[in-house]
Structure 1
Amino acid sequence: MKKALIIGGGIAGPVTAMALQKAGWEPVVYEAYEDAAAEQIGAYLTVAVNGLSALAEIDAHHLVMNVGHPTDTLSFYTSGGKHITDMPIGGTLPDGTVTHSVKRRDLYRALNAEAVRRGIRYEFGKRLVDARPTAGHGVVATFADGSRAEGDLLVGADGIRSRTREIIDPTAPQAHYLGIYGLGGFVTDPDLHRELGLRPGVYNMIFGKKAFFGYLVAPTGEIWWFANMPGEQELSKQALTDTSPAQWREELMRLLAADRGPAARIVAATPDAGFVTGFNQYDMPSVATWHTDSMVIIGDAAHAVASSSGQGVSMAVEDAVTLALCLRDQPDTASALAEFEHRRRDRVEKVVAHGAETSGDKAQNGVARLLVRLLTPFFLKRAAKQGVGSLNWMFDHRISWSDAAEQVHAGN
């Protein structure tokens, strides 16, 4: 049985491990931290129907549905509190499944626990330092603790700061800062949403005068929220770490003060323990080299998308299942990696471009931001009339485990 060294235990890592196991490989996950990456930054995320469909091919879609909840509607508002329009998020699968929202921490834990349950081995405290091909067409990885591991394939599922990407191509681009700071949190008071008259299960978006704000009400009554704040300069890791929840709250309340609606009340009601540490937002410029004959990058390591696309998890999942199918069906590893890139590059770069376009609006300031706010209602209402159809290419993508030759059943 061929062995795959999978670098990273976030989301792409365990999904890739489960997919490769189904394809007949022996996967081992190497995680840099001393435990699964459940404590990484980030509040919550969405898993679109194309991602859930891909997860179903390895019988893992129920993990998202068990820890998340349906959010099938986007509702947009102006800074003055005026409702613009509602529109669906990504359509519906034949069994009625819609887009789900899930806390990042819960999804990490569920995916890694399921991988372990399926017998997949994990090695913790293994930060990748280097990797080199072996004479036998395999690969040997070296870790910061001095240990080594050898296999037939190394998969870099190690995120936007990927060391694997650097090893494959030292000239590869770095992450691109989008001009946006992110912040998020959870309001645990179950009565606030009733007091404010908020609808559970709806993803609300407010185009504020100085910040973009989104929130939803979970089935428990907990309010989940995020904010995007324009920032010309990327904040250092130290600056992000040193800024306290009280300081983030004060800054965000200042930006939201000019807006009507529930945003300021939600932020004010968020306890310090409910704040998610602020973070810079990035996407990934086109990476020219995804693989060698025995190493490959997937997910954010190859093509990080802006959070506004709602496709980060789904792209990683599609990558994982597609890679497994290529390794199952191609005559050798090198051919499989070339086929994987052929199947995935055009699609993911189109998604990255879509996310960059929507994030660009959030990064505007001054007159440019005013123009965006004035024109946005017009474009949103037109999009709502079109329904999901204008984004069918993104949401209708399907992968079939039983028919690899016809991987794409709709979309590109």
Structure 2
Amino acid sequence: MSAIKSALVIGGGIAGPVTALALAKAGIQATVHEAHSRGDDVGAMLTVAPNGLAALETVGLREAVEAVGNPLRTMVMEKGNGKPLMNVPGLPGLPLSRVLRRADLFAAIRAGAEAQGVVVHDGQRLTHVEEHPDGVTAHFDDGTTAHADLLVGADGIHSTVRGLIDPAAPGPEYTGLMSFGFGDMRAGFTPGDLDSMHFAFGKRSFYGYWTQPDGSDVFFSNHPREQPMTLAEARAVPKSEWLAELRAAHVGDRPGERLFGSVTEERMLVAGPMERMPKLPHWFRDRMVLVGDAAHAPSSSSGQGASLALESAIELARCLRDIDDLPAALAKYVSLRRPRVEAISEQAVKTNNGKTAGPVAAFVFGLIMPIATRTFLRPEKMFGPVHRFRVDWDERVTA
């Protein structure tokens, strides 16, 4: 039985409610405190991989998330001109990844957590924390406070809790890429399989595209830009200027030139800078600990941001369940998670370097890739260690 009986989870996005559910399963009462008011975040689209679905299954949310996403059967890596380089089908014995709107994932997780008794307080932005020998008191900008044995920062890549744990902690790192999405970002999915998602190394920008079950196209561009911009700065630029820049970048790409040439500004989402968290010296201090993107956000090129956050939520609860000594439990949690998340994040850095390398490097990559896929670069080798990973809830953790 855990020595920790109560927890405050800061952040009501993906990791927060799942952390609260996992803690409840471990015998720890947890409430979630979200800075924003309840509402529909348009967001972009993302993928929950098989390892993320396994984490959701532990807290009873897998079916709810699968119901609002479409199963992805094949990923196709190709040149900017549309010539295939590699087909990556779903791995044998694993459920298919789900592609879904970020807002739909939020909603499914939130509804599932609340149905299981998790209380979520909206409109409570954390301002500061008082630490006591027997717990922590969180102060919010609406004037309210909350007290518990432990405070969990699940407040994303721009985490407030991270700065409270370590004022010298590094912040997010710009990857050199700006992200743009195109499609009906407000519409829900029409149920049905996605036969394939295409990822293309264009002449000047990396892009991806797929056709939804309703026949509409969704696509994106990871556009190299040397000077970083904040999301607010990126969205202050008129969409017409961004769209003109992207159209010029995708001239000669097939079908990129057609997709970017025919789309309207109304179907454009400026997602902003692609960022990642560099290696973080401290994930916890005293009675505060980080989970998910607040500790280990990889860039979106990994396809693993949401899934890794879900894994960490389960692992944290498991360690608190089995190790009575709090510092030892938190240290064990970090030791179990750090090697995996940092390896995946570093691999995504290599992927981003390929996206920003320019037309000459893209041409060389196109020559090498077909040889690699026929010899050593196999889907199981590439994705097996990531997608087949499971946090075994029933296995006991020892310090």
- Check whether TM > 0.5: yes
The aligned residue for residue 391 of structure 2 is: 399
> What SS class does the counterpart of residue 322 from structure 1 fall into?
helix
CA contact (8 A) 1:8 1:29 kept: yes
C-alpha distance in 1 between matches for 2:194 and 2:326: 47
Partner secondary structure for residue 265 of structure 1? helix
1:97/1:187 CA distance change after superposition, 3 Å: same
Alignment partner of 1:33 out of 28, 31, 36 = 36
In the alignment, the residues of structure 1 paired with residue 194 and residue 143 of structure 2 have an alpha-carbon distance, to the nearest angstrom, of 50
1:333 aligns with 2:326: yes
Q: 1:237-386 to 2 correspondence within 5 Å?
A: 237-259=231-253, 261-365=254-358, 367-382=360-375, 386=378
CA distance in 2, matches of 1:333, 1:92: 39
Match of 1:4, SS state, is strand
Distance (Å, rounded) in 2 between the aligned partners of 1:328 and 1:139: 19
Residue identity (%): 36
Helix, strand or coil at the partner of 2:87: strand
Quote the Cα distance in structure 2 between the aligned partners of 1:397 and 1:185: 32
Q: Are the equivalent residues in 2 in contact too, given 1:285–1:303 (CA < 8 A)? A: yes
- In structure 2, the residue matched to 1:69 is 70
2:17 to 14, 26, 31: 14
Q: How far did residue 376 of structure 1 move?
A: 4.0
Query: How far did 1:23 drift?
Result: 1.5
How far has the Cα of 1:285 moved from its partner? 0.8
- Does the 8 Å contact 1:200/1:221 carry over to 2? no
Query: Given the superposition, is the C-alpha separation of residues 269 and 110 from structure 1 closer, same or farther in structure 2, using an over 3 Å criterion?
Result: farther
Q: Supply the distance in 2 between the matched residues of 1:254 and 1:178 (Cα, whole angstroms).
A: 22
Within 1, Cα distance between the matches of 2:273 and 2:133? 41
Aligned residues: 389
| DSSP 3-state at the match of 1:229 | strand
1:253 CA drift (Å)? 1.1
Relative to the length of structure 1, the TM-score reads 0.88
> C-alpha distance in 2, partners of 1:238/1:315?
27
- Which of 116, 119, 130 lines up with 1:118 in the alignment? 116
Deviation at 1:340, TM superposition (A): 0.8
Question: 1-side partners of 2:396 and 2:256: how far apart?
Answer: 46
Q: Please state how far the C-alpha of 1:45 moved relative to its aligned partner.
A: 0.8
* Contact 1:303/1:349 (8 A) holds in 2: yes
Q: Which whole-Å CA distance do the structure 2 matches of 1:132 and 1:324 have between them?
A: 23
Matched, 1:183 2:186: no
Secondary structure of the equivalent of 1:289?
A: coil
User: Paired residue for 1:388?
Assistant: 380
Residues 132, 139 of structure 1: 8 Å contact kept: yes
How many Å apart are 1:366 and its aligned residue?
A: 5.6
Instruction: Output aligned runs, 1:1-150, within 5 Å.
Output: 2-35=5-38, 38-39=40-41, 41=43, 43-89=44-90, 91-93=91-93, 97-136=95-134, 138-150=135-147
SS at match of 1:39: coil
Cα offset for 1:317?
A: 0.5
In structure 2, relative to structure 1, the CA distance for the partners of 1:293 and 1:239 (3 Å cut) is closer
2-11 or 267-276, which deviates more? 267-276
